[in-house]
Structure 1
Amino acid sequence: MSGEEERLHRAFLVRVVEPGDEICGRWLRESGAEEVAGCLAGDGRRLPGVTDARWAGLRARAERADPRRDLATARDSGTRFVCPGDSEWPGQLDDLGDAKPIGLWVRGLPSLRIWALRSVAVVGARACTEYGAHMASTLGAGLAERGWVVVSGGAYGVDGAAHRGALGAGGATVAVLACGVDRPYPRGHTQLINRIAEQGLVIGELPPGDHPTPSRFILRNRVIAALTRGTVVVEAAYRSGALVTARAAQRLGRFTMGVPGPASSGLSAGVHELLRGDAVLVTDAAEVAELVGDMGELAPARRGPVLPRDLLDPAAGRVLAALPAGKALPRQEIARGAGTTEDEAVAKLYELRSLGFVERQGDGWKLTRQAMRSIGTDQGSC
């Protein structure tokens, strides 16, 4: 059977069978697309594993399927139909086993297979907070600047922010839809999804014109998880489709990451639950790239700001620590508090005076206002 015939049979099947149907996946694995399509088209044979009612439902759908028309409609809208075995097919989708897509409709010029090799999913709440939108946008931009493809679902909230962050950085992004790729959803993101198709890729399992349903959104998430090296969740309540994506990623052996939020936020509760398990806490694109990237893609070392007193040698630091705030002490007490001799204490006091930390007051020494501000800032960060 030629590649075009295989494509025609699979275009027929995606119109008949719902995404992720493992029974149909088993039929395809055991019998091939031509035989499965022939049985569903009504050649007299019956495939096993489904009830009479289910078989009748599939046959009713098959009677209305017109794969040649779907393929023609796709071509007219600049969409191609990519099937397992094609050079553009991402091999990692095969990890889904019998639940892998029958085929994918793809809008956009880049190669899906090449882009998927270095991709990260950024997903989360639709009704996200300003913090969630900011973090998703920043992650999208940061990953794009590092040469990563940002994959998400094109939805409101975190998804849209991640896509916009990548686009704003001039980077690559992929939207995985739960409907026909010629029918942008949500409608309010039509302009965004069309821009993604121009600058990146818009993909989906559903044939042209097909509409989304709640179950299709959930099933779409397995494709996002399988397609990418890892999934980052930015804000998600306990009942969230983003958590479905993260758990699918865990089952597939992909990296799972979460961006922490306030402990009191219900929109971060699902993320925190992930982080109590096997997910890794991340706060920026560098930490994501370190986890999912190649050897050497390390995030910078993190530390607090360097204060002037941090640059003092240990002996001067002990003398400075022996001076209380707002009170002058004689050199004898300072030496005793620093655990050193009077001569050593005096030498360090003059050194500290030259640096603006201490000043003379009669026969004693006291901290300057600059030093007290520095010490107060340092103690406030503890």
Structure 2
Amino acid sequence: MNYENTDLSALAERLLAARRSAGITQDTAAAHLDMSRPTFIAIEKATRRPRPEELVKLATLYKTSVSTLLRQETQPPKLQPHLRSVFNGNAEDQEELEIAIAKLTGFVDDYLFLENKLDAQLVTNFPSRIRASVGAVERFAEHCAQEERSRLNLGAHLPIYTLREVLEDVGVHVFLDALPSKLAGLYVFVPDFGYCVLINKLHPKERRRWTTAHEYGHFLMDRDKPGVDYLRPMQRKPENEKFADAFAAAFLMPEAGVQRRFYEEVERKSDFNVGDLCRMADYFAVSLMAMTLRLESLNLIGRGSWDAIKEAGVAVKELKREAGVQELPDADSVDTFPDRYKLLAVQAWSSEKISTGTLAKLLRCSVVEAREIAYRCAEVQFDEDGISERFSVNLTDSLLTVR
């Protein structure tokens, strides 16, 4: 690689994203290079080319590789200005958002790198973009959720326990990582790549599922508009936020399924109490608040039921325990990367297109962990006559060759 001919602007963008993703300030990075802050800023603004030894030091500080920073196969995705343009918070929120954007930028950059290495473009199953309808946005969102569940063969009654898997099969790229607590998720459409979502991995599983469904609602209505979802409530929600919220509720808790469970319970014991509510929330894998508000919106229980539960002052965990609800592991994947991303990384490594060190950088883990992931991805489970057996395969072996 001719370092002097490397695109300086692309290098600067990757350096900026890597620093923010690592949560390192410009002052710290400048001190690490033993230079002034203005000199360091010149590097990030592409007005000064870093020396090779400086680049090595920065890669080590940011826990990335020099080869990643110097990529020439693909250009870094332009997420920063798009997502920053929707922000209007304070300085602290701005810094936290910059870190989240940088993480998503790095994930997309690596994904594009793998697709380019293997010439593997994702075949998507995107629905047509939804246009806002005249009338109540909540009823329109209900209709859209029913249509989408039908299109994806999810049925009209059952919960969606593997929501991330469902959306990734559609072609949506869903990433999970640790974000500041007030940040629920980011969403952005990247040309020639697709719709990308970053969900806060630190939130409870019910919150993560809600955010994922909410972001999918945004994709259906305004997929080319980036956005950031915060936990803090807005005083007045715009129409697209109302749609996304209503869509998430109807998508995760389909009206027909909720009504069936509710009426079956009422018929069985002529009542529907808080314990029943807890068990229904567990069945649909949503929070107690989301389940209560959904039943309220369908006029199955009285308005203000959730307020009454909150005012009682009993912890939700205690209510669930008394209702006999056991905390079970999340049925959906909580890995940082989509399964396809991991398979592409392992395939690139198996075919010797990338080194073991690069595989580890792409998977954000140690070399030992990267090898373990690679071996797991290359294992196939085979069941015959009730006997389960696992055996290894080479991901690059042709299935068209007669042996």
TM-score (norm 2): 0.29
Decide which structure has the larger Cα Rg and report it: 1
| Structure showing greater relative contact order (alpha-carbon pairs closer than 8 Å, 6 or more residues apart) | 2
